[in-house]
Chain A
């Protein structure tokens, strides 16, 4: 299928995923092309009629040379020189192609609304570039004022300069942040589905009283996200046995689960909403408001290349991953503590001893390392107080790339903790000869494909690694029973 972009309402996370992940084609529709060309023509006339007006990079130099006016002749000369840098960044890895494609989609989003005033052929050429391979962008050294460092690579997708090049901007926008954060938003929704299933399995393995997720709490707490968490956990635990559960309240780490999952759901929704709104509000520097845009006709300098809302949303998500991981660690430990869990101590079958290796005992140690690392990556991506460059102009870095990179790392580590939680919970159910609740049976079956209950000594780290990879892949692709919606 080819996606047609006509209106800003076509700039959805769903379309971004089809293009970035499923590699579907994208083109500007006829309505959009007419609008783009009109804006481009109008912009050229605007520049001609207002040669003295400051339009960054059009009637002025770039960066430190912004204070210098340039003539039309000088502009053409500079355009013919092309981009002065081919690529400046380097790292030990490259950005995944999905994320690069998402960045390109974000630039298309900028073009679609006409503010960049690009020639329609340039816009369509960039859309067509998504039919092929993307440039490889080093996954490091990408933070700068605005997002020019990744743009040096993305600009390779545009055709050579020519006379029709005059435009407000070819992409001096927050495309890197918006593209990468949009991918994160999509994956976050799935990651949270997996997490809720793993926690529900742990809840059942512990036989925590169902009153901790009683639907009456929804009205008492009054929070829509906590209510959703209660609904989700209740759905996952549907038809679980109500008899023989713990006769007294479960540890705090179980009782507060709906409240922490509620906070994670809030963070997730904020990330999705912010990503989609950002896609639909891409601003460049400069930006042109043509006739009929609902504003007066003007070309203005902005800070549109700096998105502060998405780093905040990503930071919030990263914090939720850490807090949920910390709760998971408690669960994993508690499940192994017989006097607390009322399960066989150390999750060893009756009559057996942990020395036989037929247990998940000692795997509870493993999570601490991951969580410690998560905490280091999940500190907020604050504006850096350091002046990043030699230019008086470019004095503050945009933190979007750093926030995206950090959240992605936290999320991968979180998958490892979820794999441990799911595996231990599954093992706990197996040794107590209990089946998972009906809505968790498919999930449990998938978990056991990589991490079967431990009936004989084996390298459990390998099993946990395989399960982690399965979870991460399911979250990335979204086509697995692991990530199937809960309700």
Chain B
């Protein structure tokens, strides 16, 4: 299958998913090519009407050379000479997931599709073709600079060979498609990770025998917050027809009762990242950007902008990281309480097993929580003006930095949920109880990978838990 792009409205999460996750190719439609070539012609007429006019990177130098004007001859020569993007300089042990590199390539085309990149349509086809070739490996480290030139250099260095003309080299590496891609990846994976969190925390509610009152439909009708409503509704979905007998006769600890407000904050963070992803996908962020011809400006016009700086991405991703850390904290507390509750077997130990049972799960939570809290540190705009030579590129974009932390944060949450899931499974097994029927499938998956524990002798619990975390991760990233 191939995704056909006609205009900016085709830049949807659905199409992005087809390209990035399902591995589909992209076809640029005939009408889109016509629009681009038409825009290119009017741009060239605009350029030729006054080649002394400032057009960043076309009639002027780039970066610290922005104040230098180029002669028409120099303009042509520079465009021709820059027909290859030099590979990026960042390096490090870890790389952007391949799906994210595909997302960057998809998002790269937004500027082009309606002609705002002021290039010939062949440029857009070259970019689309990159999806069918071996992809660039983009290091996660060393990508924090002004705009997104640093990561884009890695990606665009793989563009198929071909000549370039005025304005085309700059369009390849300007704009903010990397922010768009990481926003989209965080949005899509958070949706699935949040769905998993609802299941595991519902399982924990069942395992503890916590009263169902804090998730009452009365609160659903009472709240004015759609996020709280969503959180309560989701918990109620998984707890539907949960046994009402045999539960704790008094209220559960705070960490169970505050699940709706804590999950509501995750819902809000998710809603924000999703909204930003959708806005960014359809945003034209080139610098300089070509404003298409109007009756007032029949040749169109070119303006310098700050489009290459997506100011929504890092705060939105940071919020998700913070909420993941909070969920780790709740999972830690639940794991601890499941192992120390008066109404459950001490240490969740089997009667014929070792007395310390699965208490190690509670020990393990601490480290993942601490790591998650470290990953939740803010991605402020850096104080350093590194690269801001001659005063131009004086503020760096931190989207990839926020995303780098997100990958760690996501792993920690999955690990923490794996520990809680195992604890809940153990508690239900020991007390011979079944959870609400919708939780049966997840419980089965948990027990397939980490069977209930009688003795840890001859079992490598670490490997089993790791396989459960990986099972969660796989389902989150491929669905």
Contact = CB atoms under 8 A, between A and B. Distances in A.
A48 B332 CA distance: 39
A10 to B, nearest CB: 13
B258 interface: yes
A452 to B, nearest CB: 28
A54 interface: yes
A306 B228 CA distance: 12
A385 B319 contact: no
Contacts of A319: 315, 318, 378, 380
B330 interface: yes
Contacts of B218: 287, 289, 293, 295-296, 298, 300
A266 B335 CA distance: 37
A384 interface: yes
Contact of B306 (A259, A278, A281): A259
A220 B113 CA distance: 12
A248 interface: yes
Nearest to B288: A249
Nearest to B396: A252
B333 A371 contact: no
A223 B211 CA distance: 43
Given A220-B307, A256-B306, A300-B213, A307 B369 contact: no
Contacts of B56: 248-249
Contacts, number: 278
B329 A256 contact: no
A222 B214 contact: no
Given A220-B284, A252-B388, A285 B305 contact: no
B54 A263 contact: no
Contact of B392 (A146, A252, A309): A252
Nearest to B116: A220
Nearest to B303: A211
Interface stretch (A72-80, A235-243, A323-331): A323-331
A145 to B, nearest CB: 5
Contacts of A303: 214, 254, 257-261
B325 interface: yes
Interface in A45-77: 54, 56, 60, 66-67
Chain A interface category by residue count = 35 or more
Among B261, B282, B291, residue most surrounded by chain A Cβ atoms (within 10 Å): B261
Among B254, B304, B310, residue most surrounded by chain A Cβ atoms (within 10 Å): B254
Interface in B180-218: 211, 213-214, 216-218
Interface in B353-369: 366, 369
Contacts of B325: 380, 382-383
A181 B317 CA distance: 23
A249 B54 contact: yes
Interface string A319-345: 110110011011000100101100000
Interface string A444-481: 00000000000000000000000000000000000000
Interface in A267-291: 267, 270, 274, 277-278, 280-281, 283, 285, 287, 289
Contact of A249 (B284, B304, B381): B304
Nearest to B176: A259
Among A115, A212, A252, A312, residue most surrounded by chain B Cβ atoms (within 10 Å): A252
A202 B395 CA distance: 17
A340 B388 CA distance: 11
A257 interface: yes
Interface string B391-435: 111110000000000000000000000000000000000000000
A395 B378 contact: no
Contacts of A41: none
Contacts of A327: 381, 395
A462 to B, nearest CB: 27
A446 to B, nearest CB: 28
B460 interface: no
A393 B283 contact: no
B253 A382 contact: no
Among B60, B211, B268, residue most surrounded by chain A Cβ atoms (within 10 Å): B268
Among B227, B260, B307, residue most surrounded by chain A Cβ atoms (within 10 Å): B307
B81 interface: no
A179 interface: no
Given A251-B391, A267-B315, A309-B261, A326 B222 contact: no
A152 B288 CA distance: 59
Given A281-B225, A295-B218, A223 B251 contact: no
Given A54-B249, A326-B381, A393-B251, A312 B322 contact: yes
Contacts of B306: 212, 252, 254-259
Nearest to B266: A308
A280 B378 CA distance: 31
B406 to A, nearest CB: 14
Contact of A306 (B253, B258, B388): B258
Among B222, B255, B319, residue most surrounded by chain A Cβ atoms (within 10 Å): B222
A281 B460 CA distance: 48
Contacts of B307: 217, 220-221, 259
Contact of B303 (A113, A216, A334): A216
Given A60-B250, A266-B312, A340-B390, A302 B257 contact: yes
Among A300, A327, A371, A394, residue most surrounded by chain B Cβ atoms (within 10 Å): A300
A214 B303 contact: yes
Contact of B66 (A248, A263, A296, A396): A248
A468 to B, nearest CB: 21
Contact of B304 (A255, A257, A306, A340): A255
A309 B60 contact: no
Contacts of A295: 216-218, 221-222
A262 interface: yes
A306 B311 contact: no
Given A256-B395, A326-B380, A393-B254, A115 B222 contact: yes
B329 A294 contact: no
B258 A308 contact: yes
Interface in A331-380: 334, 337, 339-340, 368, 371, 375, 378-380
A320 B314 CA distance: 11
A392 interface: yes
Interface in B47-72: 54, 56, 60, 66-67
A308 B315 CA distance: 17
A326 B396 CA distance: 11
A330 B262 CA distance: 37
Contacts of B285: 220-221
A315 interface: yes
Contact of A260 (B304, B311, B332): B311
Nearest to B383: A326
A278 B268 CA distance: 14
A281 B222 contact: yes
A267 B315 CA distance: 10
A378 B255 CA distance: 25
B223 interface: yes
Among B116, B257, B285, B304, residue most surrounded by chain A Cβ atoms (within 10 Å): B257
Interface in A183-221: 209, 211-212, 214, 216-217, 220-221
Given A316-B315, A319-B378, 7 more contacts: A255-B305, A258-B306, A262-B311, A323-B311, A382-B325, A382-B329, A393-B251
Which 10 A-B residue pairings sit nearest by Cβ, starting from the closest?
Answer: A255-B306, A256-B306, A303-B258, A340-B391, A295-B218, A303-B257, A300-B213, A249-B304, A308-B265, A211-B303
20 contacts: A54-B250, A67-B250, A145-B254, A221-B285, A249-B66, A253-B395, A256-B309, A263-B315, A281-B225, A287-B218, A300-B213, A303-B214, A306-B254, A312-B322, A319-B380, A375-B380, A380-B318, A385-B332, A395-B255, A396-B253
